[in-house]
């Protein structure tokens, strides 16, 4: 029988399991704390459990572990990890250092099937979803490696979190649980290319996280060229889902807009963007597009990006230009891949 992936269980699931083996119910909380707060790697380290129970856990369950296949440190202090999963697949994780604390960018899938033409993560399609424990371990292992706490999480690495909905949600619930790392949902951002029905599902959960939408274009026709998901859901449907999301959750939405020379950086684009966002509480993050092998796009000039921002601000759209971290080690947005190169 396949072993239980114990680190992917929320406390309620662990309670059920503990009950099913006839152990006392408080044991579930003890195990959960060992796994998610103290981050032990073996049942033998769970010293307040009886020997018999530890043996039972060993027989029934597996504790997911990752290993560092490669680690690169940028001149700006950013660290990029290539983590190897237990089945040999690899994903990348990026640790960014800011004055307000450490921020981690986690991957949700091995590869990606969304096919955005400017992004390296999708060039070879999707291999598989990550389990909640594999997403959690990217943070736990990184904290151990640097000997410091991580306070902010962005789900902006490889893969599409809303295409791995249940595991992404379990990850958020576990990482923000008081018995685990207790990271505030306010400090967690989830980024999506815009799978509209899943945005409605997410809204219903009323989480305190920040939803980020990778918009990158201002008309459905233009967006279809770079983001194939637009063949399924138009820009208008996406924006309606965003409005409804804010209505249900009360949370402001963040829009990512990568600036591509001659593609989406004109005055008319700024004008249309402001129209699209009219009446919304939103924030636009302008990201100079990062170079990716095999992609035909180049960054808009700095002065074009600044003018675009100014135009948005004049139109009362809250817009900032994102700082580029880790470019020298290909750890910037859209540069992550699941290969070992
Ligand atoms: N699939 C999710 C999560 C990936 S997040 C999503 O699409 O949002 C990664 C962010 O980087 C997304 O906003 C993505 O559109 C952006 N991105 C991808 N390739 C990029 C590139 N070459 N330069 C800048 N940003 C890029």
Cα separations (Å) of 159 from 62, 127, 188?
24, 10, 16
Is the pLDDT score of 53 beyond 80?
Answer: yes
Could you report the per-residue pLDDT of 90-141, keeping only the tens digit for each?
A: 999 999 999 889 999 999 999 999 999 999 999 999 999 999 999 999 999 9
pTM of the model: 0.96
Tell me whether residue 92 is one of the annotated catalytic residues.
yes
The pLDDT value recorded for residue 341 is 47
Most confident of 151-160, 315-324, 327-336: 151-160
Q: Which helix (H) or strand (E) holds 103?
A: strand 101-105
- Name the residue at shortest CA distance from atom 1 of ligand 1: 160
Could you report the per-residue pLDDT of 9-47, keeping only the tens digit for each?
A: 999 999 999 999 999 989 999 999 999 999 999 999 999
- Average pLDDT of the residues of the chain: 95
Is the pLDDT score of 291 beyond 90?
Answer: no
Could you report the per-residue pLDDT of 260-272, keeping only the tens digit for each?
A: 999 999 999 999 9
Atom of ligand 1 minimally distant from the CA of 287: 24
Do 155 and 188 form a contact (C-beta atoms < 8 A)? yes
Cα separations (Å) of 230 from 117, 180, 294, 295?
12, 37, 22, 19
Binding pocket residue ranges, ligand 1, CB within 6 Å: 114, 116, 118-119, 156, 160, 191-193, 214, 216, 256, 258, 287, 289-290, 292, 333-334
Cα separations (Å) of 21 from 27, 60, 134, 165, 173?
11, 10, 25, 29, 24
Could you report the per-residue pLDDT of 161-202, keeping only the tens digit for each?
A: 999 999 999 999 999 999 999 999 999 999 999 999 999 999
pLDDT-derived band at 330, boundaries 50, 70, 90 = confident
Dist. CA 179 → ligand 1 center (Å): 32
Q: Radius of gyration over alpha carbons of the chain, in Å?
A: 21
Atom of ligand 1 minimally distant from the CA of 108: 3
Q: Which of 90, 92, 160, 256 is catalytic?
A: 92
Could you report the per-residue pLDDT of 204-241, keeping only the tens digit for each?
A: 999 999 999 999 999 999 999 999 999 999 999 999 99
Dist. CA 182 → ligand 1 center (Å): 27
Q: Report the C-alpha gap between 167 and 26 in whole angstroms.
A: 25
Least confident of 6-10, 62-66, 287-291, 311-315: 287-291
The pLDDT value recorded for residue 340 is 59
Q: Which of 90, 108, 112, 333 is catalytic?
A: 333
Tell me whether residue 333 is one of the annotated catalytic residues.
yes
Could you report the per-residue pLDDT of 64-94, keeping only the tens digit for each?
A: 999 999 999 999 999 999 999 999 999 999 9
Atom of ligand 1 minimally distant from the CA of 120: 19
Dist. CA 250 → ligand 1 center (Å): 25
The pLDDT value recorded for residue 336 is 84
């Amino acid at each position: 029988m396949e072993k239980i992936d114990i680190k992917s269980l929320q406390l309620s699931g662990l309670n059920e399991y503990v009950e099913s083996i006839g152990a006392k119910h408080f044991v579930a909380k003890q195990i959960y704390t060992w796994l998610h707060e103290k981050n032990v790697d073996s049942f033998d380290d769970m010293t307040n459990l009886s020997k018999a129970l530890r043996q039972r856990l060993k027989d029934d369950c597996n504790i997911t572990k990752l290993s560092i296949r490669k680690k690169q440190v940028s001149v700006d202090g950013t660290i990029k990890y290539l983590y190897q999963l237990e089945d040999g697949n690899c994903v990348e994780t990026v640790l960014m250092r800011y004055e307000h604390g450490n921020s981690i960018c986690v991957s949700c899938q091995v590869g990606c099937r969304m096919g955005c033409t400017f992004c390296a993560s999708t060039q070879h399609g999707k291999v598989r979803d990550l389990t909640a424990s594999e997403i959690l371990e990217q943070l736990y292992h990184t904290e151990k490696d640097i000997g410091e706490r991580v306070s902010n999480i962005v789900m902006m690495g490889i893969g599409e979190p809303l295409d791995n909905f249940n595991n992404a949600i379990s990850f958020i619930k576990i990482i923000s649980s008081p018995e685990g790392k207790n990271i505030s949902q306010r400090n967690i951002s989830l980024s999506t290319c815009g799978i509209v029905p899943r945005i409605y599902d997410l809204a219903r959960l009323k989480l305190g996280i920040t939803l980020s939408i990778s918009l990158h274009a201002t008309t459905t026709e233009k967006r279809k060229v770079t983001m194939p998901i637009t063949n399924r859901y138009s820009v208008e449907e996406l924006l309606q889902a965003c409005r409804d999301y804010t209505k249900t959750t009360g949370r402001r939405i963040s829009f990512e807009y990568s600036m591509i020379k001659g593609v989406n950086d004109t005055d008319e684009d700024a004008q249309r963007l402001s129209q699209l966002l009219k009446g919304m509480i939103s924030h636009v993050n302008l990201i100079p597009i990062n170079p990716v092998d095999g992609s035909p796009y180049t960054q808009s000039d700095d002065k074009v990006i600044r003018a675009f921002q100014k135009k948005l601000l004049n139109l009362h759209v809250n817009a900032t230009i994102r700082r580029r971290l880790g470019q020298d080690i290909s750890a910037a947005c859209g540069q992550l891949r699941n290969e070992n190169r």
